[in-house]
Structure 1
Amino acid sequence: MSLLDPVWLWLLVPVGLLALAYVVTSVRRSAYAVRFTNLDLLDKVAPKRPRWRRHVPAGALLGMFALLVVGFARPTAEVQVPRERATIMVAFDVSASMGATDVAPDRFTAAREAATQFVRGLPERFNLGLVTFSSEASVTVPPTTDRAAVFSALNRLTTSSGTAIGEAVYSSLEAIDNLDGEQEAPPAHIVLLSDGSNTTGRGLAEAAAEARSRGVPVTTIAYGTPGGTVELQGTEVPVPVDGPALRDLAGAAGGGFYEAASGDELQAVYDDIGTSVGYRTERQEIWMWFVAAGLVAALVAAVGSMIWFSRLP
C-alpha cells in the first residue's frame, strides 16, 4: 500500500495526543476512586462493571479518527480487475506420447478434461482458439466466443506422431493476427501444453523470439512424469516429460512455466493461469475502505455507549 497525499498523516498527531489524554484521565479517575474511603457508598453510586466496557466506545472513536485520517491520505493498492476482453490460444499436444498412462487414465484424456474445465472458466467475452500439434500444427478452432465449437473440437481430438512445439506457437500467432472484426486488438496470450521435446519444424528459440516481438506471452505446461512410457507397435517406449525446453520457451517469450504430474495438478495449473490471464493488476485508490471502516468504528462507539451508559460518546 502507498499514499498519494501522506501529508494528511500529520493529523494522526492530535489523534495520538487525544488517546494519551484519555489514558491519563482514566488513570487519575482510578486513583481518585481508590482514595474514596466510603466503599459502600462508592459501590452504590458507581456499581462495579467490567472495566473493558468503558474503554470500548472511546477506543472505537479514536479508531474512527485514525481511519478517516488515513483515508484522507488517499491510500492505494494493487487490485485485480477482470479483463473485459482478451484472446487466448490453447495449444494442445496431440502427439503419440500423450497416450502414456503414467497419468490416470492417460495423459491425453486427463489433459483434455482439464482443458475443457479451463475453457469453461474463462469469461464469456474472451476470444478463445484451439491449436493442435503433433508432427504439424494446425488451427483447429480460430479465436471465437463460441465455446461450443471449442468443446466439440476437444472431444474430437486424436493422437498422432511427432511434436512440433515451435510450429504450434507460430500457428497460434497467425490465428491471433487473423482475428477479424476487432477495431482495437485485445491482449493475447498463448497457453501451450506438451509432454515432450520439439522434434520437427521451427525451433523453440525462434518461436519464442517471434512471440515476444509481437507482445504475446507464451505460458507453457510440462505435463507428465519422467517415468512415462507408451506402447508403440508392441514396444514399450520411454516418453519422459521435457520440462527444461518448455521452461526456456516460456522464459524467452515472457510467459509462465508450470509442471503437472497428475490430472489434479494440471487442473490447478489451469485455474492459476485462468486467474492470471483473466485479470489485470491495477493500482487503485482504496480510501473508501478506510472511510467505511471508520464509519463502522463510529457505529460501534455509539451503540456501545448507548447500551452500557445510556448516552452517546
Structure 2
Amino acid sequence: MSLSGFIAPWWLLLYLVVAALVVGYVAVTRGRKKQLLRFANLELLERVAPGRLGWSRHLPAALLIVALSLFTLGMAGPTAEEKVPRNRATVMLVIDVSLSMESVDVRPTRLAAAQAAATTFVKDMTPGINLGLISFAGTATALVAPTTERAGVVRAIDHLELAESTATGEAVFAAMKAIDGFSTIVGGAEGPPPARIVLMTDGKQTVPNTNPEDPRGAYVAAREAQKRHIPISTISFGTEIGTVTINGREVLVPVDDNAMREIARLSGGDFHKAASADELKRVYGTLGEQIGYEIKNADASRPWLMLGTLVLFAAAGTSLLIGQRLP
C-alpha cells in the first residue's frame, strides 16, 4: 500500500503516545522482574512453575502496540494516487480528410487507418466525456457537436470523404467555436468544463495559404487556444515518402512533423508521431488514458483501519490463550 500524503497528519502525533506506552511496558516488565527476584524463593519457584513462559508472554502487548500504530495511521487519513474517470471534459476530435490521406504508405490507406484508430478511440473513451468531431480539408466541417453518445461519432467517422486542400488553422478555430458553444450550454455555476482538441493531420497547411502565421493560420489558432486554456494534442500521421496520384501525376505528400510539434507547443498541448496504423492506435490509446482519466489523491485509510482491527482481535485472542485474560 503506497501513500502519497495525509488528510489530517496531526493525528500522527499519537505515535508519541504509542512510544510512551512501549517505554512504560518495558519499565513495568523490568520492575516486576526485579521484585520477583528480590522476594521469591527461586528453588520453590522453579518447582511450582518450571515451565514459565518466555518471550511469548509479550506477544499480546506487542500485537496491541501494532494495532494502535495502525489505527493512528488510519486516523491520519492516508491518501494514495488513484486513476478516476473524468466526467465534465469536452474533447473535439479533428481529422484531416485532404487528398493526401489517400496515400498508401500506411496500409490500406492513411484515411482508412485513421478511421479504424479513431473509431477505437471513440468507443474506448470514458463515458462521461463530451466528444465531438470535425473533419477538414479546404474548409472545416463540424460533423458532431460534443456529446456523450458515441454511436453518432462512429457513424460520422465511417462516412468521412476526401476533399482538396488543408485548412489546419480553420479546423482549430472551428473546434474552439464548437467548444465555446457547448460550454455556454453546460457551464453552470462550476464554470465551463475543461476542454481539449485532438488534431490528426498528415500534411502542411495550404488554406488560406501555406503561412501558419496568417490570421486564420494554424499557429495563430494555436495561440488563441492557449489563451482559452484549450491544449491541442497533435498527431502527425504518415511517412516522409507518401505519394498520391492527382490528375494522373504522382505527388509527394510527406508529413509535416515540425508544424504539428509547434502547434502543440504554442497551445500548451503535446505532440505525437505515428508512421503506421499500429503506432496511430497506440497514440490514440495513450491519449484516451490521458484525456479520459485523471490521477487524484483518494482516501486510503480503510485498509489500515481494517488491518488494525484484525491485529487487535489477534492481540485479544493471544492474551486469552497465553495469559487467560484480556490485555
| Kept in 2: contact 1:57–1:300 (CA 8 A) | no
Residue of structure 1 in register with 2:267 after alignment: 253
Q: Distance in 1 between matches of 2:97 and 2:148?
A: 23
Structure 1 length-normalised TM: 0.77
Residue of structure 2 in register with 1:294 after alignment: 305
Residue of structure 2 in register with 1:137 after alignment: 140
Q: Distance in 1 between matches of 2:80 and 2:177?
A: 37
1:44-193 paired onto structure 2 within 5 Å:
45=51, 61-76=64-79, 79-179=82-182, 181-182=185-186, 184=188, 185-193=192-200
| Kept in 2: contact 1:101–1:228 (CA 8 A) | no
Q: Distance in 2 between matches of 1:294 and 1:4?
A: 15
Q: CA deviation at 1:240?
A: 2.8
| Kept in 2: contact 1:114–1:270 (CA 8 A) | yes
CA change 1:72–1:299 in 2 (3 A) is closer
Q: Distance in 2 between matches of 1:45 and 1:103?
A: 82
> Which among 224, 227, 242 is matched to residue 229 of structure 1?
242
Q: Distance in 1 between matches of 2:269 and 2:62?
A: 49
Q: CA deviation at 1:230?
A: 2.0
Q: CA deviation at 1:295?
A: 2.4
Structure 2 length-normalised TM: 0.74
> Which among 225, 231, 249 is matched to residue 217 of structure 1?
231
Q: Distance in 2 between matches of 1:223 and 1:150?
A: 21
Is 1:199 aligned with 2:206? yes
The CA RMSD over aligned residues, in Å, is 3.8
Which SS does the other structure have where 2:165 is aligned? coil
Greater Cα radius of gyration, structure 1 or 2: 2
- 1:190-249 deviations in Å (ceiling 9; x for gaps): 111112222223222200121122222211112223x43123145544333222211211
Q: CA deviation at 1:88?
A: 1.5
5+ residue gaps, structure 1: 30-40
CA change 1:134–1:68 in 2 (3 A) is same
Q: CA deviation at 1:64?
A: 3.1
| Kept in 2: contact 1:89–1:191 (CA 8 A) | yes
Q: Distance in 2 between matches of 1:3 and 1:308?
A: 33
CA change 1:19–1:252 in 2 (3 A) is farther
Residue of structure 2 in register with 1:242 after alignment: 256
CA change 1:148–1:308 in 2 (3 A) is same
Which SS does the other structure have where 2:186 is aligned? coil
CA change 1:76–1:125 in 2 (3 A) is closer
Say which is worse superposed, 275-284 or 252-261, in terms of deviation.
275-284
Q: CA deviation at 1:283?
A: 4.7
